[in-house]
Amino acid sequence: MPAPTITDVRAIMTSPGSGSLQKRLIVVKVETSEPGLYGVGCATFTQRHRPVASVVDDFLRPLLVGRDPRRIEDIWQTIHVNAYWRSGPVMNNALSGVDMALWDIKGKLAGMPVYELLGGKCREAAAVYRHADGSCPTEVEDNVRKYVEQGYGHVRVQMGGYGGRATPTQALESSLTGAHFDPAAYFRGVLTVFEHIRSTVGFEVELLHDVHERLVPIEAVRLAKEVEPFRLFFLEDLLPPEHIEWFAMARKQCTTPLAMGELFVNANEWKPLVEGRLIDFIRCHISDIGGLTPAKKLGTVCEHFGIRTAWHGPGDVSPVGHVANLHLDVSSPNFGIQEFAGFSEIEQEMFPGCPEVRNGYLYLNDKPGLGIDIDEDLAAKYPCPDGVLDWTQARTPDGTIVYP
Ligand code: MG
């Protein structure tokens, strides 16, 4: 076979079913000179979808057409430095879309699933966790039980979403747009809900919680200390990336396992946390760090520091991105847990090859490459809406805007 070449690179934008601002997905398709040989990759940056598509269509396509798609590392490094300024979520997502598509192509060329190219399976499937929420402790309990009955061994517990937003806040003479929350009420609510769940459901189910950067650093450290008796599987995003130095203080105060990384976009952000053994789970958003190539390297570095993986898997990742997470999960010895939001019927139809969840485990289909595709005609029927996000305008009771 003559060396294949890249003939086209393009971004596909779609918002399956909901037409939601929070479900604007971007998938990159890389086509080659070999008839029928192409790959797909996730480049989803829901909050800024059009700039990612522009980088793919206007800059990466002319850079890549004519190149050999088998040279993944060379192409990754080329894209990474081509704009001179590096990283950032727009550039990294565009890069990720191409990178995952090239791994998909390499797997198809080899006749093997991507996990085989990463070293082969070291487990049959990935344990996943689901999100249980509610407006009061008993409603949260009902939702935790619902997942436990479905076979899940790990459940994330929130009450009133991030920052406990359902909690009433003080009256403020203002009409500022945003998601208002009260950090002090949120703190009390976390302790109340975990006390309730542990005393009713017990300790056999693994519980997780996402602080979502909603506390000032010293309060965050205090929360990590006070939830220690509830034996969390992990406490997530206790601090924002801007305050990672405070992790050292949390470590000195308690043994609550800490997870961090979904907002990271370059290696300088995770290096001090990993080498200092200040976290227990790395949970980068794979497309936001540039795809499978850097994620595989990051996972391996973490393995040698006793840190497990928990790649970010929210609802606003395309099924292609979820599948990329899974190929890493099943082939990484230091896999910890996989976040999973479930797939809607329309997503399963639009993305043939979606993995299946059974008894709390997510299973790949074992087809060559990533094992997933996109129905472009169907995707075109669900265009991405434009609009302004409300939930990222988080405000404290006096109206101050804070990290969302
Ligand atoms: Mg999170």
212 is catalytic: yes
Structural domain count, the chain: 2
Q: Is residue 254 within 8 Å of residue 293, measured between CB atoms?
A: no
* pLDDT, position 170: 58
Distance 213 CA to ligand 1 centre (A): 9
> 169 pLDDT exceeds 80?
no
> 171 pLDDT exceeds 70?
no
* pLDDT, position 178: 82
Asked if the structure places residue 395 within a domain, the reply is: no
**pLDDT tens digits, residue range 33-71?**
999 999 999 999 999 999 999 999 999 999 999 999 999
Strand segments, DSSP code E, in 243-315 are: 258-260, 281-282, 308-309
Kindly state whether residues 247 and 343 are assigned to the same domain. Answer: yes
> 166 pLDDT exceeds 60?
no
* pLDDT, position 309: 98
Distance 211 CA to ligand 1 centre (A): 8
Quick one: pLDDT band at residue 172, thresholds 50, 70, 90? low
**pLDDT tens digits, residue range 92-127?**
999 999 999 999 999 999 999 999 999 999 999 999
Kindly state whether residues 79 and 171 are assigned to the same domain. Answer: no
Asked if the structure places residue 255 within a domain, the reply is: yes
- CATH number of the domain residue 108 falls in: 3.30.390.10
- What is the percent of the chain with per-residue pLDDT over 90, rounded to a whole number? 92
Distance CA 336, CA 329 (A): 8
- CATH number of the domain residue 183 falls in: 3.20.20.120
Kindly state whether residues 107 and 137 are assigned to the same domain. Answer: no
Kindly state whether residues 143 and 100 are assigned to the same domain. Answer: no
Kindly state whether residues 246 and 348 are assigned to the same domain. Answer: yes
Kindly state whether residues 19 and 160 are assigned to the same domain. Answer: no
> 337 pLDDT exceeds 80?
yes
Kindly state whether residues 83 and 169 are assigned to the same domain. Answer: no
Give the mean pLDDT of 331-336.
98
Instruction: Identify the domain containing residue 63 by its residue range.
Output: 6-113
Distance 111 CA to ligand 1 centre (A): 35
Asked if the structure places residue 403 within a domain, the reply is: no
Kindly state whether residues 85 and 164 are assigned to the same domain. Answer: no
Annotated catalytic residue within 154, 180, 209, 212 = 212
Q: Is residue 372 within 8 Å of residue 352, measured between CB atoms?
A: yes
**pLDDT tens digits, residue range 195-219?**
999 999 999 999 999 999 999 999 9
Kindly state whether residues 142 and 194 are assigned to the same domain. Answer: yes
Kindly state whether residues 153 and 250 are assigned to the same domain. Answer: yes
Give the mean pLDDT of 333-358.
97
Kindly state whether residues 101 and 138 are assigned to the same domain. Answer: no
Domain finish residue from 113, 148, 168 = 113
Asked if the structure places residue 45 within a domain, the reply is: yes
For 315, the token pair is 């609802």
Distance 253 CA to ligand 1 centre (A): 23
304 is catalytic: no
Distance 130 CA to ligand 1 centre (A): 12
- Predicted TM-score (pTM) of this structure: 0.96
CA distances for 385 relative to 16, 20, 21, 55, 91, angstroms: 11, 7, 6, 19, 22
Q: What is the mean pLDDT of the chain?
A: 96
Asked if the structure places residue 397 within a domain, the reply is: no
Distance 239 CA to ligand 1 centre (A): 11
> 343 pLDDT exceeds 90?
yes
Kindly state whether residues 253 and 105 are assigned to the same domain. Answer: no
Asked if the structure places residue 237 within a domain, the reply is: yes
Q: Can you name the residues that pair with 127 across neighbouring β-strands?
A: 361
Annotated catalytic residue within 38, 162, 186, 382 = 162
